[in-house]
Structure 1
Amino acid sequence: MFESGFKNVNINLTSANSRRTFSCGDIVTGTLSFDLTKETKITSITMALSGNVDVHWSSGSGGKKRHRRHFSAKINLFLLKSGLLLENSLGGGPTKLPPGTHVYPFTCHIPHGDFPSTFHGVHGKIQYLLTVSIDRPWHFAKSFETELNFLERINNKPELWAPLSGSNSMYVCCLCWASGPVELTATLERKAFMRGEIVKVICEINNASSRTVTPKARLKERQTYYTHGRHNRNSGTRNLVTQNGEAIKANSSDVHKELLLTIPTNTHLTISNCPILEVDYMIEVVVDVRGSSEVIVRCPIIIYDYNIYNQIPQQP
C-alpha cells in the first residue's frame, strides 16, 4: 500500500489575501509536507495546476436507464505541470529519503485569461485544482489535491455602476368593465452588487384601479448548463430571497415605496464567460393585484466579489 511509511501528507497554500482567494495572474505558493517512518525510495514528486469545467445531467421518464438520455460536456481551461522531486538522472535511479519530516516548497503562476469563478452547482462545477503526485518504484502513483477558491476579475464597465430602471403597466378588468391601469416603475442604483450587500429597490406606483395592490421584490438565480455547441441545455431558476411591501389602496397615485433585498452571503458569483455553464441573476419587482395578474419589471444584475472589485481602477 502507498500509505506504508507515509504519514501526515499535507498541501499548504499561502494567499495574498485573508480570504484565501486567487485570480488570473496570481502567484500560488505553498508547501508539500509529509512524514516518513522509514527510508523510502521516491521516483518523482510532480505538481499540476488545472482549471476544469464539467457539466452532466439526464432527462427522460421512467426509472430504467434505457428510458433516460444523458448529457455531458467538459472543458480544460488550463493545465500547468512542474516537478518538485525528479529521478536522479546522474545516478540513474530513485531518490532515497530518510525517516522524518520532508517539506517541498512550490510556486506556480495562474495564467492570464478570461476564466470563470469557482462554482459547484446541481448539474456541474468549475474547479481549480492543485494536484501533487508521488511516484514510487513498483507502486501506483498516489495523488493528493486541494481546490483553489478562484474569483473572476470583472471588467470595470461604466454601465455596471449606472442606475437601472424599467416600467410596466396593466389594465385591471372587473367583470364586464375595466378599471384604470396599475403602473409600476422600478429603479436600482446600479447593476453590480456584492454578496451580503443590501439592494435598495425604488418603486413608483400609480394604482388607478379599484383593487388593492401590493409591491414586492425577489432575487432570482438561474443556472444553465450546455453541451458543446449548445445543442442541448438544462436550465433551472430559483428564488433566493423575497421582500414584501405594504399594500396600496385603490385609486392611489404617485406612491413611492422602497424595498430592501439582502443578497445572501453564500450566493454564487455571476458566470457569463463559460461556453457550457452560466449563472445569472435578476431582481424581479412585482405589483401583486388582488384577484388579478401581476405587473412585473425585471432588472438583470451581476453579483461579484469584494476583493476583486477593490483591485479594479475606479473611473474618474
Structure 2
Amino acid sequence: MSSTIKKIGITYNSINASNTFSNGDVVSGQVEVELAKDCQIESFYIKFKGKAEVLWSETYGQSTQVYHSKEKYFTLRHYFIKGKNSTDDQQTLITNESGATYCSVVPPGIHVYPFSFQFPLQDIPSSFKGEVGKIIYQLEAVLSRSMRTDSKEKVPLNFLARDDLNPVADLKVPQHESKDKKMGLFKSGSIAMDVNLEKSGFHQGEGLKVLALIKNDSSREIKPKYCIYKKHSFFACGRRRVHTKDLIKEVGATIPPSASEKVTQVIPIPQDMEPSILNCNNIKVEHRLRVYLDIKYASDPEVKFNIFILQAPAMASAPPAASDFGNGLFENYGNPNPPVWDFGPPQPPAVFLPADPPPSYGTYGMYPPLNDFANKY
C-alpha cells in the first residue's frame, strides 16, 4: 500500500457454521479503506467472480511447453466510485445497491462501503484446489488513482454446489463385478469373487456397503481388501495430467483354504471427503473403489467401481426466498429481465482422444479410450 492508502480490507457475513455458500446464496459485506490523508480516487469497485484454471509445464529436451486453460463462470462489479473513463458493456453489471452516493475526494480516516452479490442458480462446480489447477470464487476490491498503481485486495469464498442443479445419472443403480483366477505353478486350485454395490452415489458421512461372495478353492488363505482413491484430471491444450491418491484402506477377515464365504464390508465415508466434480470442462474430481484379494506370492485379482461422492445433505442450502431480500435491495432475484452475467467465451467440452493412459501416479498423457478409462485408473 502507498503512504496515502494505509489499508484496504474486505469482510463478508457468514451464513452458516461451515462458512460456505451455495447456489442462490447472497454474499453481503463491506470494504473498509483507511487513508492517511486526502485522496482523489478515480474509480473504486468490488468484483465478484468465479473461474476454473489449469496451468502446468512439460520439458522436452531444451524446450519447455506451458499448458494453460481457463473457464470463466461469471464476473460482476459493484462500483462505489465510477470514474469518467469507466465504460459500461453488456458483460459487466454496474450497480450501487445501497443507493449511497460516494464522493471521489475522500478525507483521512476509515471509510466503509457495503456491498451485496448473489451466487448464480446455474450449474457451476464447487471450490477446488489441486496440484496444477483450481476452481475459485472470490471478491476483489480495486481502487484506482491517476498516475498510480491500482490498490487491490482479494478474499476467497468457499462454494459448495447444490447436487440438484447437477444431477448425476445412475447414482442409485447397483453395480456388479466378478473375477476368477487360477493359481500359478507353485499353488493349486482357484479363487473367485463376485462383488456387488447397492448403488453408485454416496454422501459424506454415509457408509458404503460392499457385498461379496468369495470362493477360495486354493491351498492358500486369502484376505479381501478395500481401497477408495481419488483421481484428479486436468485438461489443457489437448493434453491431460492425472494425479491419484489413496484415501481409505480396509482389510476384511481371512478366508481359509477350501472355503466359500459371503462377506459384507461397510466403509465409512468421512464427513470431509472431497466431493466429486464432473461439471467442469478442464478439471475432473473422480473416485474409485478397488476391491482385491491379497494372496501371498501371487498377483492379486481385483475389481474396480466408479463411485460418486456427494456433499452431506445438511450442507446443501436452499435458494433464498424472494421475501428474504427485503426493501428491494436484491431486486434482480426473480427478475424476468435479470442483469447479464459475464460467462466468458463458450468453452468446448472435454474431448477424449484415443491414446495410451499415463503410466504412473502424477504423470500425464493423452486421453485414453473411453472403454479402458475406468479399468486403468
Task: Give the TM-score taking structure 2 as reference length.
Answer: 0.72
Between the aligned partners of 1:300 and 1:238, the Cα distance in structure 2 is 15
**Counterpart contact for 1:29–1:107, Cα < 8 Å:** yes
**Do structure 1's residue 255 and structure 2's residue 262 form an aligned pair?**
yes
Between the aligned partners of 1:171 and 1:133, the Cα distance in structure 2 is 64
Between the aligned partners of 2:185 and 2:208, the Cα distance in structure 1 is 39
Between the aligned partners of 1:165 and 1:288, the Cα distance in structure 2 is 22
**Counterpart contact for 1:184–1:295, Cα < 8 Å:** no
Give the one of 82, 86, 89 matched to 1:86: 82
For residues 101-126 of structure 1, give each alpha carbon's deviation from its aligned partner in whole angstroms, at most 9, with x where no partner exists: 21110011222322111111111111
**Counterpart contact for 2:126–2:160, Cα < 8 Å:** yes
**Do structure 1's residue 284 and structure 2's residue 290 form an aligned pair?**
yes
Between the aligned partners of 2:317 and 2:210, the Cα distance in structure 1 is 24
Query: 1:5 is matched with which residue?
Result: 4
Moved more, 240-249 or 115-124: 240-249
Cα 1:7–1:177 change in 2 (3 A) is closer
Between the aligned partners of 1:83 and 1:233, the Cα distance in structure 2 is 39
Matches of residues 82-231 of structure 1 in structure 2 within 5 Å? 82-87=78-83, 95-155=104-164, 159-160=170-171, 162=172, 164-175=174-185, 179-188=189-198, 191-194=201-204, 196-228=205-237, 231=238
Between the aligned partners of 1:165 and 1:88, the Cα distance in structure 2 is 62
Between the aligned partners of 1:241 and 1:278, the Cα distance in structure 2 is 20
Moved more, 299-308 or 107-116: 299-308
**Counterpart contact for 1:212–1:289, Cα < 8 Å:** yes
Between the aligned partners of 1:217 and 1:152, the Cα distance in structure 2 is 29
**Counterpart contact for 1:26–1:110, Cα < 8 Å:** yes
Query: 1:33 is matched with which residue?
Result: 32
Percent of matched pairs sharing the same residue: 26
Cα 1:87–1:232 change in 2 (3 A) is closer
Moved more, 295-304 or 213-222: 295-304
Q: CA RMSD in A?
A: 2.7
**Amino acid paired to 2:69:** A
Query: 2:69 is matched with which residue?
Result: 73
**Counterpart contact for 1:54–1:124, Cα < 8 Å:** yes
Between the aligned partners of 1:279 and 1:142, the Cα distance in structure 2 is 35
Query: 1:55 is matched with which residue?
Result: 54
Between the aligned partners of 2:283 and 2:213, the Cα distance in structure 1 is 36
**Amino acid paired to 1:58:** S
Between the aligned partners of 2:279 and 2:199, the Cα distance in structure 1 is 25
**Counterpart contact for 1:182–1:209, Cα < 8 Å:** no
Between the aligned partners of 1:290 and 1:252, the Cα distance in structure 2 is 17
Number of equivalent positions: 300
Question: Gapped runs of 5+ residues in structure 2?
Answer: 86-101, 320-377
Query: 1:273 is matched with which residue?
Result: 279
Between the aligned partners of 1:61 and 1:157, the Cα distance in structure 2 is 39
Question: Gapped runs of 5+ residues in structure 1?
Answer: none
Cα 1:135–1:167 change in 2 (3 A) is same
**Counterpart contact for 2:53–2:71, Cα < 8 Å:** yes
**Counterpart contact for 1:172–1:181, Cα < 8 Å:** yes
Query: 2:301 is matched with which residue?
Result: 295
Moved more, 297-306 or 122-131: 297-306
Cα 1:269–1:176 change in 2 (3 A) is closer
Kindly state the Cα deviation for residue 88 of structure 1 after the two structures are TM-superposed: 8.5
Give the one of 242, 245, 261 matched to 1:235: 242
For residues 125-182 of structure 1, give each alpha carbon's deviation from its aligned partner in whole angstroms, at most 9, with x where no partner exists: 111121110112331221111111111111366843x363323121322428861332
Cα 1:95–1:309 change in 2 (3 A) is closer
Cα 1:236–1:4 change in 2 (3 A) is same
For residues 183-236 of structure 1, give each alpha carbon's deviation from its aligned partner in whole angstroms, at most 9, with x where no partner exists: 232435652221x554343333222222211111111111111125xx221122
Cα 1:227–1:268 change in 2 (3 A) is same
For residues 260-301 of structure 1, give each alpha carbon's deviation from its aligned partner in whole angstroms, at most 9, with x where no partner exists: 344372x43211011111110011111223332223222222
Between the aligned partners of 2:143 and 2:20, the Cα distance in structure 1 is 26
